[in-house]
Amino acid sequence: MEQEVANYNEPEYFQLRSPNTENGFGYSFAVKIGNHIKASGAVSMDEQGKPTAVGDYKQQMKNCYADIKKMLTYYDCTFDDVIVENVYTTHMSLFLENLEYRKSLYNENRYPKSTWLGVKELAMPELMIEIEVEVYKP
C-alpha cells in the first residue's frame, strides 16, 4: 500500500507540443500531482514554438483556450474542473472586449478564481495573451 501512495504523489509531466519545442524552452505544459494539475501559460504558438494569429487578439485567445482544452481532455477533465485561471495580457481592453468568449467556456456561476494582469510584454513580442490554469479533479 505504501508504494501505491508514493506513486500517487509522483509528478506526471504533460507536453502538448513536440519535446524539442517544450524542452527547448525549458518547460512542460502541465504537471499533475495527485488530483491537482498546474498548467504553464498557454500562448498562441505552433508545434515548432512560432507565434500564430499574429495581430489577431481574439484568435490568440481562442488558441490559448484550445491548448488548455487539449490538456484537460488528456486528463479527462473539463473547464468545470478549472479552479484557478490567471490571464496575462498586453492589451487589457481587448481581453475585456472578448470576455464573453472566455465566459462561454465555463458554466455560469462556476467560474474559477481568476486574476487578470496587464503586462508590458510576454515571452515573444507577437504574443498578446497568455493563460495559465490550475485544475482539481476529485
- The pLDDT tens digits for 50-96 are 999 999 999 999 999 999 999 999 999 999 999 999 999 999 999 99
Q: What distance in Å separates the CA atoms of residue 75 and residue 118, rounded to the nearest whole number? A: 30
Residue numbers of the domain that contains 75: 2-136
Return the pLDDT at 7: 54
Place of cell 499574429: 54
Strand partners, 131: 42, 87
**What separation in angstroms does the CA of 5 have from each of 1, 115, 125?**
7, 33, 44
Structural domains in the chain (count)? 1
pLDDT tens-digit map of 8-59: 679 999 999 987 888 888 899 999 999 999 999 999 999 889 999 999 999 9
CATH assignment of the domain containing 44:
3.30.1330.40
Q: Phi-psi region for residue 55, left (φ > 0), alpha (ψ -120 to 50) or beta? A: left
**Position with higher pLDDT, 4 vs 34:** 34
Return the pLDDT at 8: 62
DSSP string of 66-97?
Answer: HHHHHHHHHTT--GGGEEEEEEEES-HHHHHH
